[in-house]
Amino acid sequence: MDVVGQRPLSYYRKQLVETELAFYDMYNALTDQKEFKIRCRIEKPSGSHIARKVCYPQYELTAIAYETQIAMIPKAQETRGIIEPLPTSSGVKVLVNNEKRAATEHLIKLLTENPELLEQYQALITDMKNFKQAKSELQQARSD
């Protein structure tokens, strides 16, 4: 009798995170564009007590900081000092479209020039697919 084990989803998630961080480290070491470097930090999603590591390109963090500063400036008298809503992630993503396009072009250039980075990127894509597949299989098994 053969016993086939199945790895838990957490295994694939951990593998994906490790590969992603290794890719970012290599990418950051190779890029000379400060605004394209990837910065990771621990965040708690709104309404959650569970912290997780999230990563953003520097240009996005800069835009978030700028938009937050603008929102915190009290407005004219007629608004009675009402503070504007803080920027949302989706709103900031719209603001940084040009930077994202430039960062993508820069990434493609680095991938073309650096076989090790390309290999790490391919490993990241593979781990993303493995995680997605494992998650899909788990959801399918739960619905059966």
Question: pLDDT higher for 115 or 74?
Answer: 115
Interacting residues of 96 by C-beta distance below 8 A, sequence separation 6+: 59, 60, 63
Q: Tell me the pLDDT tens digit for each residue of 90-113.
A: 667 778 889 999 999 999 999 999
* % the chain with pLDDT above 70: 82
Cα→Cα distances 141→65, 106, 137, Å: 43, 41, 6
Question: pLDDT higher for 142 or 82?
Answer: 142
Cα 27 from Cα 121, distance rounded (Å): 9
Give this prediction's pTM.
Answer: 0.79
